[in-house]
């Protein structure tokens, strides 16, 4: 197996999202050698919601040189596909081809109500919008003007035919749709290793049934915190157990089943098991852990990179 690419999400934040704070985190991640810097998407929460992750990543593009800029779940059903295609192309231009586009459908009914979209339509809308976006990135005509001249997307992405697309999926129907597209599948960070093992088998079976090329990219996102202190590790586990909604966790799963929290030896053992059982190619370390300040999170990331060298 080749080198595992290690990535991070944005971590600690103040009362809202500020460009300087976010860019500083990305700069730190880049200086440490992380492969990519990831943002989720969320709506109608508090000031820390991220309704427009690509806008925030555009600010990061101007302060970094190498690190890849990525979304975990850019929600396609609530967007016009051509406007979404334009925004992605612009970010790819701004960053000189440093984008991975993680796309998703969304899971919150209140969000679909706000955007006047029936929940049952989200998968159909997702697929239709993604098809339109991919065709637009290929330079295919979108429509014709009054004189019969083709209307095409401009600018096009730097990456050809377009930035890599990964599909966030939570639940059997979303997993099946991801497999039918033949695109890398990004799982929930709250699913256990055993569940991920079954999910990836099902995903790969769907890819085969669809007569698609095997998907070589196998990403996994985990909440990771590395510390020498057993008491700090236990406090972090307690905090995570309280902060992650029960709807996102499996019944009877404990916090050790979906996180990696402990010292470097513990992290190496756990990550080695993920490599052995899943054959992961990309590890995304999730931050935003309640009670963890910036200094502690940065130190954890430093130790993670030390562990990653031994995988």
Contact status, residue 43 vs residue 79, Cβ threshold 8 Å:
no
pLDDT at 247: 47
215-262 per-position pLDDT tens digit: 999 999 999 999 999 999 999 999 898 876 554 556 667 899 999 999
Q: Is the pLDDT of residue 161 over 50?
A: yes
For residue 106, give the nearest of 44, 47, 56, 165 by alpha carbon: 44
Q: Please state the rounded mean pLDDT for residues 204-222.
A: 97
Q: Please state the rounded mean pLDDT for residues 75-93.
A: 97
Q: Indicate the pLDDT class of residue 45, thresholds 50, 70 and 90.
A: confident
Contact status, residue 283 vs residue 293, Cβ threshold 8 Å:
no
Which residues make Cβ contacts (< 8 Å) with residue 262, sequence separation at least 6? 226, 227, 230, 233, 270
Range from 84-93, 166-175, 181-190, 239-248 carrying the lowest mean pLDDT: 239-248
Q: Indicate the pLDDT class of residue 125, thresholds 50, 70 and 90.
A: very high
pLDDT at 184: 96
Q: Please state the rounded mean pLDDT for residues 146-161.
A: 94
Q: What is the CATH number of the domain that holds 140?
A: 3.20.20.30
pLDDT at 249: 56
Q: Please state the rounded mean pLDDT for residues 11-19.
A: 72
Number of folded domains that form the chain: 1
Q: Is the pLDDT of residue 298 over 90?
A: yes
pLDDT at 253: 74
Q: Is the pLDDT of residue 267 over 70?
A: yes
Q: Which residue has the tokens 């995903």?
A: 203
Q: Which residue has the tokens 């809308």?
A: 125
A 10 A CB-CB count for 247 gives 7
Q: Please state the rounded mean pLDDT for residues 4-16.
A: 85
User: What is the span of the domain harbouring residue 39?
Assistant: 5-308
A 10 A CB-CB count for 102 gives 25
Range from 98-112, 181-195, 214-228, 235-249 carrying the lowest mean pLDDT: 235-249
Average pLDDT value over all residues in the chain: 93
pTM score of the predicted model: 0.94
DSSP per position, 148-204? S-EE--SSPPSSSS-S-EEEEE-SHHHHHHHHHHT--EEE-TTS-HHHHHHHHHHHH
pLDDT at 48: 76
């Amino acid at each position: 197996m080749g080198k595992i690419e290690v990535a991070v999400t944005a971590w600690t934040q103040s009362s809202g999202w500020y460009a300087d704070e976010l860019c500083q985190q990305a700069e730190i991640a880049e200086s440490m050698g992380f492969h990519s810097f990831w943002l989720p998407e969320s709506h109608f929460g508090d000031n820390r919601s991220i309704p427009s992750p690509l806008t925030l990543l555009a600010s990061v593009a101007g302060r970094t040189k190498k690190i890849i800029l990525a979304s975990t779940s850019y929600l396609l059903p609530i967007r016009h596909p051509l406007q979404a295609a334009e925004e992605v192309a612009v970010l790819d231009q701004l960053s000189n081809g440093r984008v991975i586009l993680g796309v998703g459908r969304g899971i919150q009914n209140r969000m679909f109500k706000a955007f006047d979209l029936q929940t049952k339509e989200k998968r159909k809308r997702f697929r239709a919008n993604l098809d339109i976006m991919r065709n637009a990135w290929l330079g295919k005509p979108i429509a014709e003007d009054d004189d019969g001249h083709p209307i095409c997307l401009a600018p096009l992405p730097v990456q050809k035919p377009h930035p890599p697309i990964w599909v966030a999926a939570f639940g059997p129907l979303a997993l099946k749709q991801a497999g039918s597209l033949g695109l890398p599948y990004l799982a929930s960070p709250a699913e256990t290793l055993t569940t991920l093992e079954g999910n990836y088998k099902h995903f790969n079976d769907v890819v085969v049934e669809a007569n698609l090329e095997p998907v070589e990219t196998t990403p996994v996102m985990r909440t990771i915190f590395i510390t020498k202190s057993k008491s700090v590790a236990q406090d972090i586990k307690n905090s995570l157990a309280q902060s992650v909604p029960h709807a996102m966790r499996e019944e009877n799963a404990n916090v050790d089943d979906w996180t990696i929290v402990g010292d470097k030896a513990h992290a190496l053992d756990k990550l080695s098991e993920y490599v052995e059982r899943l054959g992961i190619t990309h590890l995304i370390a999730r931050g935003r852990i309640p009670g963890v300040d910036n200094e502690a999170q940065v130190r954890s990331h430093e130790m993670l990179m030390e562990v990653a060298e031994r995988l």
